[in-house]
Amino acid sequence: MELYIDTANLDQIRQAHGMGVLDGVTTNPTLIAKEGVDYGKRLAEICEVVSGPVSAEVIATTFDEMLAEGKDRATIADNIVVKLPSTVDGLRACKSLSDEGIRTNMTLCFQSLQALMVAKAGAYLVSPFIGRIDDIGEDGMELIVKIRQIYDNYGLPTKILAASIRHPNHLLQCAMVGADVATVPFDVIGKVMNHPLTDSGLERFLADYKKAFG
Ligand code: G3P
């Protein structure tokens, strides 16, 4: 499974890249607002660090405007993937951009049939939002399982990018049910590598060594 980081924070992106685990980056308007920087400029900075796919979400919501904004974002770097909402206008923009060879990430996917439609329109990635489904008392992981089955039934090449991941168990489940990619907040990487037996084991190795050799 590929691992992306869901942030617009350059320091976090550099750190994850340095750990050797980073396959790509996803951003969205909320994450950019949090950083308080120019979206286009930050995307260019991210693409200097990361050679894998970097998702740039459009602010526009109508077909014509999404198309223009998406084409503009795609000029920033070869690895920009244009992120579009899973709406009817988004579908049309997905089809047009895909036909021009621009990769798309169809975001805000909350039901499996949206995923079927965006795959038919040529999406490179689909982003089902697991955490936000869990938030309303439903099971986000079920959506990943259904999309996996539909895509496998028909050999659809769109990659399932599990988004809105909140904790390591989400990440584990994604890997087990066959998501192609998971995009995680930076802190999830640290949590995954944290185990009390790793810490106590390390402490003991060092104490034993010190006792024997000073
Ligand atoms: O980038 C989209 C997605 O990962 C957002 O996650 O935590 O705001 O639901 P969240």
CA distances from 205 to 198, 199, 200, 209 (A): 11, 10, 9, 6
Q: Which of 41, 83, 210, 211 is catalytic?
A: 83
- Superfamily of domain covering 2-213: Aldolase class I (3.20.20.70)
pLDDT digits (tens, 9 = 90+) for 3-42: 999 999 999 999 999 999 999 999 999 999 999 999 999 9
Domain layout of the chain by residue ranges:
2-213
Which residue's CA is minimally distant from atom 4 of ligand 1? 164
pLDDT value of residue 69: 98
pLDDT at 157: 98
Quick: pLDDT tens for 90-135.
999 999 999 999 999 999 999 999 999 999 999 999 999 999 999 9
Structure tokens at 134: 């869990």
Mean pLDDT of 49-74: 98
Per DSSP, the residues of 68-129 read: HHHHHHHTS-TTEEEEEESSHHHHHHHHHHHHTT--EEEEEE-SHHHHHHHHHTT-SEEEEB
Residue 88: its pLDDT value, please? 98
Instruction: Tell me the mean pLDDT in the region 130-147.
Output: 98
pLDDT for the residue 9: 98
Q: Is the CB of 163 under 6 A from ligand 1?
A: yes
86 lines ligand 1 (CB under 6 A): no
- The atom of ligand 1 lying closest to the CA of 57 is 1
Please name every residue paired with 110 in a beta bridge, in sequence order, or none if there are none.
none
Share the mean pLDDT of the chain.
98
Q: Are 162 and 130 in contact (CB under 8 A)?
A: yes
Is-catalytic flag, 83? yes
H-type alpha helices, 19-87: 29-35, 39-49, 63-74
Name the pTM for this structure. Answer: 0.96
167 lines ligand 1 (CB under 6 A): no
